[in-house]
Structure 1
Amino acid sequence: MTRHLSRRLLALALASAIAAPAAAQTANPFALPQAEPAPAPTGVDPAAFVVSDIRIEGLQRISAGTVFTYLPVERGDRLDSALGADAIRALYNTGFFEDVRLDRQGDILVVTVVERPAINKLTITGNKDIKTEDLTKGLKDIGLAEGETFDRLSLDRVTQELNRQYNNRGKYNVVITPTVSRLDRNRVDVQIAIKEGKAAKIRHINLVGNDAFADDLITEDWESRENNWLSWYRRDDQYSREKLSGDMEKLTSWYLDRGYVDFSLDSTQVSISPDKRDMFISAGLTEGEQYKIAKVQVTGDTVLPKEDIEKMIPVKEGQLFSRRVLEFTSDGIVSALANIGYAFAQVNPLPEVHADNNTVDINFQVVPGPRVNVRKIVFKGNTRTADEVLRREMRQFEGAWYSQAAVDRSKVRLQRLGYFETVEVENVAVPGTDDQVDVTYTVKETTSGSFMFGVGYSQLSGVNLSVQLQENNFLGSGNRVSVAAQQSSYQKRYDFSFSNPYFTDEGLTLGYNLWWREFDYSDYGVANYTTNSGAGQVFLGLPITEYDTVSSMIGIDTNEILLSASTPISIQDYIDAVGQNTFHAWRWQLGYSRDTRNDYFMPSRGSYHRSTLEIAMPGSTVEYWKAEYTYSRYFPLNPSLILLTAVNIGYGDSYGDIKYRDLCIDMTVTCTPENDDFLYTANSDGLPFFERFYAGGISSSGRVRGFVDNSLGPHEFNGFTSQPIGGALKTVGTVELVFPKLFDSPAARVSAFFDVGNVYADWDTFDAAELRASAGIALLWRSPMGPLSISYALPLRTMDADPLTRFPGDDTERLQFTFGGSF
């Protein structure tokens, strides 16, 4: 239930509590003259008189004009007892006055009033279950708000209603204490102090009459549960009348889905302990007999060929009756008709029960209704994002026949933009017609910009800080702009990128990247060297189907390598073989992706494939290629469990001419071809060291949680330390069970994972026995401050340290996290 709906329900509940008007006083409104009047003729009111003037007394805040507006008496009117009673009643009904009195001075009508005080300040304290803003809004809707007229009767009835609201939430110890403090100038302060207490807990649920199924099996999906080890978190042991009502519906559905057509819920009893802390629930039921399907038929105007409709029906003769299967079948036929324009089609499964042989005949009655055309597509809630950005994602078009598949696909495309927290769609019939609808998409925008920062600490590099400003929906245009700067003991980095996903109406993406990086790998935990690199790139993306996109990037970059005394020998040899330490490259990349996921941030179904081939083209300092494949797929096992499988594989190698150079092992001697004992040949064969793959950590593309970032794969010992030098082959995989319902929020989910992977020097050195593995739990939360990812992993397959070669073991890190703050 949304917050606005909660406010409306609360306002209606409170309004109904004070709907009864205050009773009008019926005492004689006129003061009789001192002298005894003469007997009046029969049927004549002796107190009646003609009003020559009206005087109002006792007013403080309310103007006399307001009183005259409501007073049903004017100068020249003949005022009798009946009209006087009506006048008092009318003034009381305004709610402005505590007392109203009518007097007569000659022929002048004197109206004396006592105003009700105004509410100076309204304070609510102690409420947790009902938000203060919702409660204040509900009270304001019925006139109990600061600046409004105070009514004691309204306050008393609101107090009773709040008690009822909390009782419905299982809080029977709630204490509502209203306090009214009188102030000067006929004002009051109203304080409502709430002591909610603790919700009564369900100690026992007892089902009576269930012979076919055990209690635990039936109540497995109930929201109301007996106290269990997860109750501290899920609060499912707290009693609520609404939750119990829903569970009784689930009980009925349980049996009807399993063929028990005669099932009946005979009674529901709820008892509470004397201290109002424990609840005991008992439900009496009659199971009846199981029924099977005897005959299935389709009637009505099917629109489509009848045999095609019959193929959509999974219900067969001899199967157990199931209401769920009937509803599923009806929904399938409705969807098929909705896809060809029949937006309001109905399929009514009509059962005919034969109690004598426990069978049911099912008649699917098809009522297609008129074929519907879409008049307009309307967007609501997009205060920042332009309508054009949403409209270009539409697969349902205005003026076309309605298609449920196109409407649903349009919704998925909006969800995948990443700009919206929720997307809802509604079909609104056009007044005066039965063959037109307006399709309304209501979105709730979320933060599409982010201020990403990372803070870390290590003994080598100390504090590391990175900053990134990114706006995925720049000025509501759908364009992506990113500016990043990173400063730490090992890196200075400056990036700028821009992309327009709809450079053309056909969806051609155009963008470019510019970046400069100064990176000191000696403090980064990998091979010790420093790079100064920069690049300029232009990229294109073209959708070829609804799910498939091809992309291309071309650019030029430069990379200066600065070595140190502790740089691994293999890297020094590569530089010597090439004969220079500055590498220039003309880079071309070709990519293909297929994305059928149903959400950008929290998908629950669908898959993602991406293949890329990157080539340093002829004319570059060194010529090489890299290929990478990424795959992930989400399997919804049930609404509370999703299976994720993912794999990432990368490989690269050199091509073209390989450069060679003879080098001397010992710099203290003179190496000559004749003195070849000290000679060896270095070459530039293989993927360059600065393009190699790494694995390990939580946020890298080679994700193996539980291991330090980039720490897996080949190492080289330089006499002092063992340094990761990366590899030409990367293979990483993940199996993850996601629990989307563990948190009552679409922005958070918990998962249990198993990661496996490693990096190898080349294809020939691959050994499955060298794969590392870890298992653990992870939390992914799209917090108001940005995406937060936390994992705790237990490494399962690791390499121990080798005391002979002095190579250390794997560098593990069980608790890992990344965090970004949004603007």
Structure 2
Amino acid sequence: MLLNFFSPVRSKAASPPNDPFRQPPALQARSLTDEMMTRQPSRRLLALALASALAGPAWAQTTDLPASSAVLSPDSFVASDIRIDGLQRISAGTVLTYMPIERGDTVTQTGVGDAIRALYKTGFFQDVRLDRQGDILVVTVVERPAINKLTVTGNKDIKTEQLMVGLKDIGLTEGDTFDRLSLDRVTQELVKQYNNRGKYNVEINPTVSPLDRNRVDVTIAIKEGKAAKIRHVNLIGTEKFQNEDITKSWESREHNWMSWYRRDDQYSKEKLSGDMEKLNSWYLDRGYVDFNLDSTQVAISPDKRDMFVTASITEGEQYKVSEVKVTGDTVLPQENVERMVIVKPGQIFSRRLLEMTSDSITATLGNVGYAFAQVNPIPQVDREKRTVSINFQVVPGPRVNVRRIMFKGNARTSDEVMRREMRQFEGAWYSQAAIDRSKIRLQRLGYFETVEVETPAVPGTNDLVDVVYTVKETTSGSFVFGLGYSQLSGMTTSVQLSQNNFLGSGNRVSVEAQRSDYLQRYSFSFLNPFFTDEGMSLGYNLWWREYDYSDFNVASYSTTSAAAQTVLGLPITESDTVSLLFGIDSNEVLTYPGSTPQSIIDYIDAIGQRTFHAWRAELGWARDTRNDYFMPTAGTYQRVSAELTLPGSTAEYYKLNYEFSKYWPISSWLVLNTRADIGYGDSWGSDSVRYICQAQPGQPQIPGQPPIEPTPVDGNVCGSGAVLSRTLVATGLPFFENFYAGGVRSVRGFSDNTLGPRSEPSYYYYRGQPLGGSLKTVGSFELYFPRLFDSNAARISAFLDFGNVFDGYDNFDAGELRASAGVALLWRAPVGPISISYAFPLKKKEGDEIERLQFTFGGGF
């Protein structure tokens, strides 16, 4: 039998209305105000009497206490056991762990209140009740439901990943206990975040859907709405400068023709705060030491769509620099440090120049071990003379050594591979430049998605630090079955097994098989980038391929070739590398009578064989200072190479090539790339000459003998009864080594490989066939918009391409250059790189093959 020795107690917020058993009369009386108790003393006494009448029998009937327990008050008892009712997911042990009452403890009204508060504090329960059954304490709970699934929809401005991290921090995540209060806090915080982004019409609608087994699904539906537009920016008090000049670099600007891209007309509290700091810097960088931002006001239209920004300022007077000095412990010779000071007496005061000077001195000291060096520019203002004297106080701090260099996050890549990229060494003086350079070298390996570096001080010392590189590894190897398509080559299938970080050793291994309408290729390559400790690389290439050039916008012929090559590389500086290639290859050429151009047939006849063997050597130099391999926004790439077939080769020739690409960051949203590709080739050995003889006119035919046909004969004298018909000379760069232009990777807007010299028109080829040339001149100006997409894997550009190929430098004619302009999309899709361009030929001639829309899928950029 369950008797209410003391009434069930729970928090007032959890008590449903009209429940007479939720609080006993005694507790109800305590909850009244003192004024109520003085007005109704009889009701209070009646409540106490009823409580005593109920408690007395219960105690007597349900307890069998020893005589010593008679000292206990009527509202307390000793719990012989504790029973937990209502549990579904949470174990009884968990509840008992949080309970301040244990078996054998004396249960009092105060202890009951403490127990209820402790259980509520866990956040596991939405209702808690304590009852007595004899000397057993009965705890009845109602668990909060568990979150089965948490879904966020409609969010565009804030990424889902960021939202989920924030929800987890608040305590709202899948598998956790659902708390309505947490959901309300999330709703309020989201509204605040969107308001800071200028979206005042945002609607946050959370939905909780109950499920079986005490679970719920939580859906947060977001209607972001449109950001409020800045319609007017007004600066009050500007006399020395035009408002347009001041706000030119602001992120918050009035609506303009580029706002669709830059989105600078969308109001944001964070952006406006940064712009106010830019306003302050604008005047301090121009000598207005007394500048003051008096007030900032932001007004919003009734429909919450338009914003009006007003800032009131006091410009003050312009100051000049009267004196500059360097004090403190400069460590380096005083005159060396003073040469780093770019602030000079007589100049207009500029805070930017002060900061640049401080940063320069600090960086120099940091590179010689003073990791904690500080340079404090102390200005002395003379307002009567309107001058400022500046004292650069140098505080070098202790000289710091690097104790250890450690790596974290490299589960696959061995420490040795990472350590050989270090330019900061253990036991050496601290150098910020070496640490930063080491980070860049790790990023350029291509093994890591992110690289972070920290320099924590060694506990208990002030002159030792550790350098910790934390990396997040990315996929450095792949097994790919590729399917690609381009307008030029048609369908392409390939199977490639590659590993740029083979077994974590840093070695590169690749095996590939590729087949398309015009190509079959099988290859194997291996490269050890650190064959020696000094950084010399050693690699091998083996390949066999068949090309059908008649399907490749090239003259009609096909080749079957194979090669074996060895490649050596030697870094000579941080960004410069020298490479040497040596190999042997064979190339068999097949011509098609009536289709292959006569010039190609004549070249083969002059050589006297269709298979070309070559001993090949190539020497190259490259400099790469780009900040990213795939999507650079700054830096330069240059490469010069000279290729030569050695004596004993079927055809003796050379090829020179120069590639240049420089990225100019114009702003955070615009990058200019200037690119050039120049190539030239020619023969260097003796020309191959053959003579074609034919029967003399009127020469009688010998009975029983075949007629005399045109026959190639060695030497310059024809045989008896024959005369010289033609002389064939194989000179210059072989036709299968010619350069080509036109297409996605050259001059866009023109069909691939169609620019330059062509063969004579024929019945099947009324325009003639592209032959290529021994001189290539191609260039480009391209504007990239890196911030148009949030992803670094895609970018849009606007370009101007120009170039052509010529038959030798003697035939170069600038008037024959072709040009085109257009837009392009480059995307590193998960299925492979995609390049799409649409170009308008600006300079073309009759007979050119135009192709405005061009794309490749599954190939490199």
Q: TM-score range by the shorter chain?
A: 0.7 to 0.9
Provide TM-score, normalisation by structure 1.
0.87
Decide whether the 8 Å contact of 1:24 with 1:88 is kept in 2. no
Whether 1:793 aligns to 2:822 is: no
- Structure 2 residue runs without a partner (length 5+): 1-10, 16-21, 29-49, 58-70, 697-706, 711-717
Aligned to 1:7: none
Instruction: Tell me, yes or no, if the aligned pair for 1:47 and 1:80 is still in contact at 8 Å.
Output: no
| Paired residues for 1:657-696 under 5 Å | 657-663=686-692, 679-696=725-742
- Provide the rounded CA distance (Å) in 1 between the counterparts of 2:341 and 2:228: 46
1:742–1:211 CA distance, 2 compared to 1 (3 A):
farther
Determine if the alignment matches structure 1 residue 719 to structure 2 residue 747.
no
Q: Deviations over 1:570-592 (max 9, x none)?
A: 11111111111111111122222
Residues 130-149 of structure 1: pairs in structure 2 closer than 5 A: 130-149=158-177
| Per-residue Cα deviation, 1:530-550 (whole angstroms, up to 9, x for no partner) | 111111111211223333322
Could you list the per-position Cα deviations for residues 46-75 of structure 1 after superposition, in whole angstroms to 9, with x for gaps in the alignment?
Answer: 654342435446432244443333333345
Q: Look up the SS of the partner of 1:177 in the other structure.
A: strand
Structure 2: distance between partners of 1:170 and 1:685 = 71
Q: 1:456 aligns to what?
A: 486
Q: What is the CA distance between 1:37 and its match in structure 2?
A: 8.1
- Counterpart in 1 of 2:597? 568
Q: Look up the SS of the partner of 1:413 in the other structure.
A: helix
Number of equivalenced pairs: 784
SS of 1:715's equivalent? coil
Quick one: structure 1 residues 109 and 574, their matched pair in 2 at CA, closer, same or farther if it must change by over 3 Å?
Answer: closer
Give how far 1:84 is off.
3.7
State which drifts further: 228-237 or 340-349: 228-237
Match for residue 335 of structure 1? 363
Q: Does the alignment pair 1:586 with 2:615?
A: yes
Tell me the distance in 2 between the aligned counterparts of 1:763 and 1:540: 32
Cα shift at 1:333: 0.8
* Segment drifting more, 403-412 vs 47-56: 47-56
Q: CA offsets, 1:270-327, max 9 Å, x none?
A: 2222222222222222222222211111111100011111101111112122222211
Instruction: Write the distance in 1 (CA, Å) between the matches of 2:536 and 2:55.
Output: 101
Among 577, 590, 609, the alignment partner of 2:606 is 577
Q: Distance in 1 between matches of 2:859 and 2:72?
A: 80
The aligned residue for residue 445 of structure 2 is: 417
TM-score normalised to the size of structure 2? 0.83
Q: Which residue of 2 aligns with 1:764?
A: 810
RMSD: 3.3
Instruction: From the superposition, tell whether residues 530 and 355 of structure 1 become closer, same or farther in structure 2 (CA, over 3 Å).
Output: same
| Worse-matched range after superposition: 750-759 or 390-399 | 750-759
Kept in 1: contact 2:486–2:857 (CA 8 A) = no
Contact persistence 1:29–1:102 (CA under 8 A): no
**After superposition, where does 1:187-266 map in structure 2 within 5 Å?**
187-266=215-294
Of 574, 582, 586, which residue of structure 2 is paired with 1:546?
Answer: 574
2:724 paired with 1:705: no
Alignment of structure 1 residues 495-574 onto 2, 5 Å: 495-564=523-592, 565-574=594-603
Deviates more, 1:686-695 or 1:543-552: 543-552
- Give the distance between the partners of 1:655 and 1:189, measured in 2 at CA: 78
How far does residue 636 in structure 1 lie from its aligned partner after superposition?
Answer: 4.3
The 1:138–1:763 alpha-carbon spacing in structure 2 relative to 1, beyond 3 Å, is: closer
2: CA distance, partners of 1:453 / 1:253 = 55
1:326 and 2:365 equivalent? no
* CA positional deviation for 1:336: 0.8
2:555 match: secondary structure: coil
Q: Secondary structure at the match of 2:178?
A: coil
Residue 229 (structure 1) shift: 3.2
The yes-or-no answer on 1:654 pairing with 2:683 is: yes
Q: Which residue of 2 aligns with 1:153?
A: 181
Which of the numbers 776, 780, 787 marks the counterpart of 1:734? 780
Could you tell me which of 32, 35, 49 is aligned with 2:76?
49
Which sits farther off after the overlay, 315-324 or 199-208?
199-208
- Which residue, out of 309, 332, 342, partners 1:281? 309
Summarize deviations over 1:210-258 as a string: whole Å, max 9, x none: 2223333222222223333333344333322222222222222222222
- The DSSP-based 3-state class of the residue aligned with 2:637 is strand
> Counterpart amino acid of 1:149?
T
In structure 1, what is the equivalent of residue 116 of structure 2? 88
**Alignment of 1:32 onto 2:51:** yes
- Whether 2:87 is the aligned partner of 1:60: answer yes
- Secondary structure of the residue that 1:33 maps to in structure 2? helix
Query: Residue by residue, what CA displacement relative to the aligned partner does 1:142-166 show, whole Å, maximum 9, x if unpaired?
Result: 4334443333333333332332233
Q: Within 2, Cα distance between the matches of 1:547 and 1:522?
A: 41
Q: Measure how far apart 1:421 and its partner are.
A: 4.2
* One-letter identity of the residue aligned with 1:796: L
SS of match in other structure, 2:316: coil
Structure 1's 72 and 532: CA in aligned 2 closer, same or farther, altered over 3 A? Answer: closer
Indicate if the aligned counterparts of 1:51 and 1:74 stay in contact, CA closer than 8 A: no
The one-letter amino acid of 2:186's match is: V
Assess, with a 3 A threshold, how the Cα gap between structure 1 residues 199 and 647 changes in structure 2: closer, same or farther: closer
Partner of 1:406: 434
> What is the CA–CA distance in structure 1 between the aligned matches of 2:671 and 2:590, rounded to whole Å?
48
AA aligned opposite 2:819: A
> Match for 2:841: what amino acid?
P
The one-letter code sitting in structure 2 at the alignment partner of 1:573 is D
Where 1:89 maps in the other structure, the secondary structure is: helix
2 CA distance for matches of 1:675 and 1:713? 42
Deviation at 1:744, TM superposition (A): 4.5
- Whether the 8 Å CA contact 2:170–2:182 is kept in 1: the answer is no
Change (3 A) 1:361 1:119: same
How far apart in 2 are the matches of 1:488 and 1:108? Answer: 83
Bigger-Rg structure (1/2): 2
What residue is the counterpart of 1:774 in the other structure? 820
Aligned residue for 1:815? 853
- Alpha carbons of structure 1 residues 276 and 233: separation in structure 2 relative to 1, 3 Å: same
Quote the Cα distance in structure 2 between the aligned partners of 1:446 and 1:408: 21
Q: By how many angstroms is 1:268 displaced? A: 1.9
CA contact (8 A) 1:456 1:465 kept: no
Q: 1:319 to 1:786 in 2, by over 3 A?
A: farther
User: 3-state SS of the aligned residue for 2:336?
Assistant: helix
Q: 2:42 maps to which residue?
A: none
* 1:755 alignment counterpart: 801
Provide closer, same or farther for how the CA distance between residues 162 and 757 of structure 1 changes in structure 2, counting only shifts above 3 A.
closer
Aligned to 1:173: 201
The whole-number CA distance in structure 2 between the counterparts of 1:751 and 1:525 is 27
Structure 1 residues 811 and 257: CA distance shift in structure 2, 3 A: same
Q: Does the 8 A contact of 2:575 with 2:625 survive in 1?
A: yes
Q: Is the 8 A contact 1:265 1:285 kept in 2?
A: yes
- Residues 605-632 of structure 1: per-residue CA shift (max 9 Å, x gap): 4433322222221111222222222233
Letter in 1 for 2:375: V
Match of 2:35 in 1: none
2:396 matched residue in structure 1: 368
Shift in alpha-carbon separation, 1:664–1:218, aligned structure 2, 3 A? farther
Name which of structure 1's ranges 282-291 and 145-154 shifts more when overlaid on structure 2. 145-154
Letter of the 1:733 counterpart? G
Is contact 1:417-1:600 (8 Å) kept? Answer: no
Of residues 612, 637, 648 in structure 1, which corresponds to 2:641?
612
| Sequence identity (%) | 66
Partner of 1:11: none
Structure 2 distance, partners of 1:262, 1:665, is 100
Distance 1:438 1:642 in 2: 37
Could you tell me how far apart the structure 1 residues matched to 2:55 and 2:484 are? Answer: 96
Bigger Cα displacement from structure 2, 191-200 vs 535-544: 191-200
- Return the offset for 1:503: 1.3
Unaligned runs of 5+ in 1: 1-20, 39-43, 802-808
Q: Report the residue type matching 2:689 in the other structure.
A: Y
